[in-house]
Structure formats: structure tokens, C-alpha cells
Amino acid sequence: MSFDLACPRCKAQLTASDEIEGKRIKCKTCGEAFVARPFDEEASSPERSREAAPRRKPAGIRRSSDDDDEEEPRSRQKSGSAVPLILLLVVGGFVLVGGGVAGLYFFAAAKPAVENQPEPQARIALGKNPVVAPPVAAVRPYNRIFSLALSGDGKRVAAAGHTREVVGGRERNAAEGIRVWMPETGSQADSKAYEAPASRSQKDRVALSPDGSIVGALALDRVLFWKVDTGELISSAKLEVFGAAGVATTPHRFRFNEDGSAVVFISNDALVTVRVQGGVVTVNKPKDKPGSNAYYVPGLKRIAEVRKTADIYGCELATWDPASDGPPTVVRLEGIKDIPGAWAVSGNGKVVAVSPYMTNDKDKTQVSLFDPSDGKRISLLPLDDHADFRGYKFLELSMDARVLVGRGTDNGLPSKFMSIDVIQLANTKRTYRAVRDPFKVLGTHNEIVLSSDGTVLIYDGAEGKIIRVDTRTGNEK
């Protein structure tokens, strides 16, 4: 016979034979050592699972049945000794009175803790690696965000991140899975949660289908898909593309294709496609491989990257067919002689934006726009007038190429200036700028995402705060 058990640290569900019960084992997922006990409401708590080291029981706390078994031989020894009856009666009276007082104390102290305990966790079967559904309890806001996604209409937000938990008197990251909510009518507290394998890493990535009906996630070595409205798990795929740590290399961007039938991304220099239905994985490894910043462009139906030319005196746009391991199509971008510092391709595949690499902290760089079909320059944006601005280290274009978002910097070491800018390309007017203190956003992933129509911008505002901006007016929400 066998039984189910749960790791107290990462909540991974395991199956073990009966002879393992009560023995100290290690979790295959996170390496946590704990005592193997059947999975139930009591055993799912960290305190119950960490009974391996004997501890002195505080006064007023009832012993478990195991403790009673250990005390039984001693009780029998005492009962067999020649103790006067009167002494036994006196001692028994004190025990009864003391036990009653201790019992009342224990009941009063323990009752609030019982009321505050979360509901037992439900399990969703997923082959040998079940996915643990979140407990029915209030949602704790993220303290760090690693990935953000928007539906095409900008009405739904998806996020992956961590909260903080206290274990053994120490605070640490707690994996909180994937969340989706509608910012117009709610917040993280109202979000629907989709629990991916807990990793506590910064590698989790999330994506929303263009119509916002499906949420996808990359967690450890798995890609998972759920129906947003019902929470139903559609499919789960295990990746065989591993990095040095045994998990998928974190892609720069994790995106759905144009019809929402699959996600396409880069992992370990390979082109990876995972289909929603059935979780079918396709991997291609071209010889002329893309860099880690390459990403899928729906309008081109190809993976794109702006990179330096072979002679390093210019830039070129390289695009790969994700269904092939053939060489990329390459177009040289005219009029630019520097290597790229930041770049973006619009979702419709009609505009490429490039900000040259900043070689010093004195000269300012300008953003150039190109036609990806022939590499000709369309326009050159004017220089930024901010005294501390030197250039962009990140760019994003809306699907229709009407809105450009950039993360500006002074290029100093250490940096003292950082900005989030929104520029309307029709008139090159800046409709939004948020100047941020670089020291206050250290440790954030600076996630920046635009809706398909370019009217909604969301970004990581540090400490788990998500900033939502109407790009037409510059108003924050």
C-alpha cells in the first residue's frame, strides 16, 4: 500500500509506500527534509511535518498520541511500584486540579489560532506531479513581481510573484502562484489564483491569450494553461530544454501566438512552442541561434531579434521561423552605426525601434524607427530634454506601432536617474513620465507591458505595487 504526503516547504505532493511512514525523507523538488506522514489537514501544516527533532513541550500544550505511546512504559513502571495509597490520592488530586486549569488555559489560548487557520488545501491531479490549489483565504498582495501580462483589450492583468512568510522566526519568499484580475473592477485581493509548481525562484513567467480567456505560465520545467473564468487546468507540458540548474532558462518574453493556440519563446538558445490543447511541445535549435532577448512577433509569425552585424559597425533585424531549425532572415538597418542598446518590434511587425548602446554618461542617444521589410529608417525621435536623461535600456511598442514605451537612464555607475516614458509616435509627444529612484527599485524586474491597442500600460512599481497608466492622458490608477 502507499499514501500521499506533502512537502511542508514547497507543498509538492508525493506518493510513498507504507514502510516509509514516520521516517525522515527529503523532498525531490526543493530538498527539504521532513518526516513522512500521510497527507491530511493536520499533516499539511509545517509544524506537524517537522517533528523529526524532539522538542520540549511547552506547558499547557496537549501531547500527541505518539507522545502518549512513549510515556506508556513509564506509567506502567510507576503503577507497579509500592506507593502508599494515600500518597497516590493526594498526587492524583493535584493532577486533576492542575490539569483542569491547564486545560482551560490551553482552550482559551488555542481557540484564536484555530479560527485563523487556512482551509485545507485541495489538490488538482496532474500525473505524478499534482498541482496544489491555493487555500480558500484572503489573497496576500505580492511583495515582488517577476512577470506581468495584459489581455489584448487591457481589461485583465496576470502576474507571477512572491509574498513573504515567516518560518522558524525567519522571513522568506513564499511562492504564491499565478493571479489574474480585472483592474477596472477589482484588485489583487479579488484575484483568481492558479497554482503552479512552487519554486520561490525568479524564473516564473506568465502570459494571457489575446482574448484574455486563457492564462499560461512557465514555472520550473513546466508550462501550464488554465481557463481564466473557471480555473480549469487545460494542459501541462514538461520541458526537456534544461539549463545548468535543471530548469528552463528564463525567456526575455513569454507570449501567446496570434490566435492564442500556443506560447512561443526562447529557452537555452532553442525555439520552443507549447500548444494549449494537449500540451504538445516543439523544440528547434538553429545553428545561427537567437539571443536570450529574442521574442515572438505575432504580425511576422516569427521570433525576432535586433543584434549587431558581423562587422559590429551596425544593427540588423534577424527573424526565425519557430517551426524550423533553418537560418534566420536578416535585414540590415540603415543609417545606424552603433550596436543596439534597446530595441522593440511592434506586434503587427511593421515597425522596429532601436536605441543605440550608450558608451558614456555624457552623450544622449536617440531612438530610430525602421521598416523591417527593407531596413530603411522611417524617423528619428528628437532628443530628450531632461538634464539627467542619456538613453533607453528597454523599449516596447504597441501592436499598432502608435505608442512607444521606454525605460530611461542616466547611464551612470551607480545610476541616479530612471524614468518610465510613454511617447505617442504620431506627433512624438510624451504623454507620461514617471521618474523613479533607482535605489528604491533595486531587486525589481522592471516589467513593462502594453495592451494591444496601446491605451493601457502596466509596470512593476516595486514592493509588489503594479502601476496602471492610461497612455492617452498619462493618468495613473
Q: Which residue has the higher pLDDT, 16 or 429?
A: 429
125 pLDDT more than 50? no
pLDDT-derived band at 48 (thresholds 50, 70, 90) equals: very low
Is the pLDDT at 109 greater than 60, yes or no?
A: no
End-to-end alpha carbon distance in the chain: 55
Task: State the pLDDT at residue 312.
Answer: 73
Among 27-41, 115-129, 235-249, name the one with the lowest average pLDDT.
115-129
172 versus 291: the higher-pLDDT residue is 291
Confidence class for position 66, pLDDT limits 50, 70, 90: very low
Task: Kindly report which listed range (83-87, 205-209, 229-233, 407-411) carries the lowest average pLDDT score.
Answer: 83-87
d(CA 166, CA 407): 34
Please tell me the predicted confidence (pLDDT) of residue 77. Answer: 42
Say yes or no to pLDDT of 64 above 60: no
The residue that leads in pLDDT, 287 or 363, is 287
* Mean pLDDT of the 224-240 span: 89
- Strands laid side by side in the 255-256 sheet: 255-256, 262-267, 270-275, 281-284
Q: Which amino acid is at 133?
A: A
Peptide bond into 38 cis (omega under 30): no
According to the model, what pLDDT value does residue 84 have?
52
CA 148 – CA 159 distance, rounded (Å): 5
How much is the average pLDDT of 381-391?
Answer: 87
pLDDT at 190: 63
Task: Output the average pLDDT for the chain.
Answer: 75
Does the pLDDT of residue 319 top 60, yes or no?
yes
Which residue type sits at 314? G
Residue 219 has pLDDT above 70, yes or no: yes
Residues of the chain with pLDDT > 70: what percent? 66
State pLDDT tens for residues 448-460. 899 888 999 998 8
Domain boundaries, the chain: 2-123, 124-285, 291-477
- For residue 241, what pLDDT is reported? 60
Is the pLDDT confidence value at 291 over 50? yes
User: Looking at the domain 124-285, which fold is it?
Assistant: Methylamine Dehydrogenase; Chain H (2.130.10)
Q: Which of 132, 110, 263, 121 is nearest to 196 (CA)?
A: 132
Least confident segment among 16-20, 184-188, 290-294:
184-188
pLDDT in tens, 68-91: 444 444 444 444 444 455 555 555
Q: Which three cell numbers stand for residue 34?
A: 521532513
Mean pLDDT of 324-348: 92
C-alpha cell at 159: 502576474
Residue 272: how many other CB atoms lie within 10 Å:
28
Regarding beta strands 315-320 and 329-333, do their DSSP bridges make them parallel or antiparallel, or are they unpaired? antiparallel
Distance CA 341, CA 339 (A): 7
CA distance 255 to 237: 16
Query: Mean pLDDT, to the nearest integer, of 6-21?
Result: 74
Q: Answer yes or no: same fold for 124-285 and 291-477.
A: yes
Position 136 scores a pLDDT of: 33
Q: What is the pLDDT of residues 14-47, one digit of tens each?
A: 777 766 777 778 787 777 788 877 754 333 444 4
The band of 427, judged by pLDDT with boundaries at 50, 70 and 90, is very high
Q: Is the pLDDT of residue 248 over 70?
A: no
Look up the CATH architecture of domain 291-477: 7 Propeller (2.130)
What is the model's pLDDT at position 128? 37
Q: Using pLDDT thresholds of 50, 70 and 90, give the confidence band for residue 154.
A: confident
Range 218-226 average pLDDT: 85
